[in-house]
Chain A
Amino acid sequence: MLTRYGALIFAAGFAFFLFVLFAGQPLGAPPMTVGRAVLDQAPAAVGAANIVTSVVLAYRGIDTMGELAILFAASTAVGLVLGRGRGHAAPTAEPGGFILQAGVDLLFPLLLVVGFYIILHGHLTPGGGFQGGVVLAAAFVLPVLARPAEQPSHGAMAWVEGLAGTAFIVTGLAALAFDRAFLAPLLGAGQLGALVSAGTLPILYLAVGLKVGAELASLLLRFTEEEAAR
């Protein structure tokens, strides 16, 4: 009981510490030392209407690559911890009910369209490769919930993942051939707000979306396989 009170006091003290820290911050009036320069220069220099996308892919492209590497490491580590191929396509797993099956059939094409829409408009509207990739992963995990016997192959997903990662790095390396920095946007800025604009940013985001989708789908499938093997 005593440890419980101690834990509560610790949590309250931690919250108070954070509150004091943030009460001294200029909230509502950020200094924006980098942000102002980005807001001023990004539309003309990068050509993406979504300035967050310019930051993520053009100014911090190499960080985004590190982010992808961390996601890849996490998915590999989960695969390593849960074991590969054990309990694959458990025949005892029962298919879902009629409503789930019919709903999945209805949702699958819609989820694909929405996922690719979000990915391909990542430089124009809120969204992008990471968000659209999660929608794509949901599209491929839902059928497994409805029909556990028909597991999509991990090999195909690994191929998609690997090819998308290669495409991201090759696009980055292509900039080096034109005497630009690694992952610098090529092909010119284009017209602001057009679907084909912002140079190589849509290509990079498509690669990110496919990689995130394949990685997350295989991660979730591993969890469902582990559940079915039980």
Chain B
Amino acid sequence: MSQSSLSILLLGALGLVGIGVGGLVLSRNLYRLVLALAVAETGGNLLLVLAGFRPGAAAPIIEPGRAVAAMVDPVPQAMVLTSIVIGVGVQAFALGLAIRARAAYGSLDMDELRGRMEADIDAEAGAPPAASQHAPAIARLAGQPEAKP
């Protein structure tokens, strides 16, 4: 593999990370957040594998009776194995939390979830319902001390 295809792979991996991060900051659906995290993680794994790549080198597996001149670095590949396993764990836990959020509030939309959570917090603290769902409940409580029971 030549240097130009290596830079294409690098751009692809960086593109995956960029798409993932873009999805993380743009999407409001919890499930899409988990998917975006998975895409970004794939790009990161590809970057790790690329870090140990050498042009013309074979995979680090010895076949008896076949001599190879050079092998790629085996250490990043072992690291990627760890990274994939931990990524699976994180995604599973995030999905579990998303399922609980949907069971509790009936929605996966972040704005809707935030509004309902703040309404709950307001109701718990005895504050009047918020005028704007973007204002944090604590600031509203501080601004309206007479509303406390």
Contact = CB atoms under 8 A, between A and B. Distances in A.
Do A and B come from the same complex? yes
Given A15-B17, A77-B93, A67 B86 contact: yes
Nearest to A212: B85
B89 interface: yes
A43 B60 CA distance: 11
Interface in A167-217: 192-193, 212, 216
B122 interface: no
Interface stretch (A33-41, A101-109, A150-158): A33-41
B39 to A, nearest CB: 12
Interface string A11-53: 1101100110010010111101011001100110000011110
Interface stretch (B19-27, B113-121, B123-131, B141-149): B19-27
Contacts of A81: 93, 96-97, 99-100
B61 A51 contact: yes
A156 to B, nearest CB: 20
A49 B64 contact: yes
Contacts of B100: 81-82
Interface residues of A, number: 56
Interface string B60-72: 1111100000011
Contact of B75 (A7, A18, A35, A128): A35
Contact of B25 (A11, A52, A212): A11
Interface in A56-113: 56, 60, 63-64, 67, 70-71, 73-75, 77-78, 81-82
A7 B62 contact: no
B108 interface: no
Given A34-B75, A67-B82, A193 B26 contact: no
B107 to A, nearest CB: 14
Given A28-B53, A30-B54, A74-B93, A49 B63 contact: yes
A10 interface: yes
Contact of B18 (A14, A49, A55, A71): A14
29 contacts: A7-B26, A10-B25, A12-B18, A15-B17, A15-B21, A27-B10, A27-B50, A28-B3, A28-B6, A28-B54, A30-B52, A32-B73, A35-B73, A39-B71, A49-B64, A50-B60, A52-B60, A55-B77, A55-B78, A56-B78, A67-B86, A70-B85, A71-B86, A73-B89, A75-B89, A82-B96, A192-B64, A193-B64, A212-B85
